[in-house]
Structure 1
């Protein structure tokens, strides 16, 4: 007996799901997760509404799937390049640089997907709020861990408050994103890079792994 062939319907369903989510993350980054609807996406992508509904079942499930898809994209553009660099101050800078590039190059056309959608759901209750809160907590934890690696390796001062420093670095990055999206310009990224490098130089035991000020 020959090898069992994969179910073509499952493969087509997976392809359709990916097509819908590729569109959904871009819509949500500019119009919010509430801007998503199964009917709208089906119409824009020229798909069967019933077929799209069968893939997601409800608007909430579509929103949750969209958050997960956005996380995977964020990992590819920010976390993976960061992990490609050896632990220490150089990795800290690569993390910040990758985040600013992710926002500046409009991986999501509305800038940072999470900045936009967290603001939309921060005061709400429910599964979508919880999913977004978990992604934000995960990002903050990641930043703190990268900083702690540098502190343990004595590349930043031993008395550095990594929780405070993480808060400040994230704030610089998010403000650059917000300013750029609001005014459709890029100067905020240079200001953020200067601010980030200023803070890192202030705590670094050796600045050789940091670039010059832009």
Structure 2
């Protein structure tokens, strides 16, 4: 069982590399067998179909995305420090994929008008990430870092737009200033929604005490 799991993990690593460079549609049992120097039947035994292979790659990509972006950011303080960490790690992840490609973005282009299990799996993962961002925005509101009347979904939409612009300018146009521009855009965007306490955090001041503590101090 352990050897089978190791073999499957090795196949998935190779499949991720192929998908990053050729897209999910570029994945096939035959291409993967050639890269891993396995037989087609050996690769097929682990996945059963090209569709299941594509779905497994999407799930593996999401798992690695969580390990590199989501979980480390969760160690930051609640509110804007955590939201900023999520975005900065997201930017770093995209910047490391410029020579290959983000499966979330390339997959959306490939499957935006192609209903089916692969599109559904990809959409579930992207929506899970957006939900995590939305929750972080709501926590920042609760902590008093963002304005009470903010629309969290609107901010998530705008943050996603910044990432798409970064991917376009850095990957397609090869603009060397894209990374600095997206960081500046984040500070400006979030600053628009920030409270005075949030502005202090954005400008490097020490984090304010939790909202409950501040309310007690005022009371």
- Please say whether Structure 1 and Structure 2 have the same fold, judged by a TM-score greater than 0.5: yes
Does residue 50 in structure 1 map to residue 29 in structure 2? no
CA deviation after TM superposition for structure 1 residue 191, in Å? 1.1
- Of 165, 169, 193, 2:159 maps to 169
Segments of structure 1 that go 5 or more residues without pairing to the other structure are: 1-9
Residue matched to 1:98? 89
Residue matched to 1:123? 113
- Of 40, 58, 61, 1:67 maps to 58
Answer whether contact 1:110 1:181 (CA < 8 A) is retained.
no
Does residue 14 in structure 1 map to residue 2 in structure 2? no
Q: Distance in 1 between matches of 2:22 and 2:168?
A: 15
Q: Distance in 1 between matches of 2:176 and 2:40?
A: 39
Q: Distance in 2 between matches of 1:94 and 1:184?
A: 25
Answer whether contact 2:69 2:90 (CA < 8 A) is retained.
yes
**So what's the TM-score if we normalise by structure 2?**
0.87
Residue matched to 2:74? 83
Residue matched to 2:211? none
Q: Which runs of 4+ in 1 moved over 4 A?
A: none
Q: Distance in 2 between matches of 1:193 and 1:95?
A: 12
CA deviation after TM superposition for structure 1 residue 154, in Å? 1.0
Residue matched to 1:3? none
CA deviation after TM superposition for structure 1 residue 211, in Å? 5.2
CA 1:11–1:185 in structure 2 vs 1: closer, same or farther (change >3 Å)?
Answer: farther
Answer whether contact 1:103 1:112 (CA < 8 A) is retained.
yes
Residue matched to 2:214? none
Does residue 27 in structure 1 map to residue 39 in structure 2? no
Q: Distance in 2 between matches of 1:80 and 1:175?
A: 25
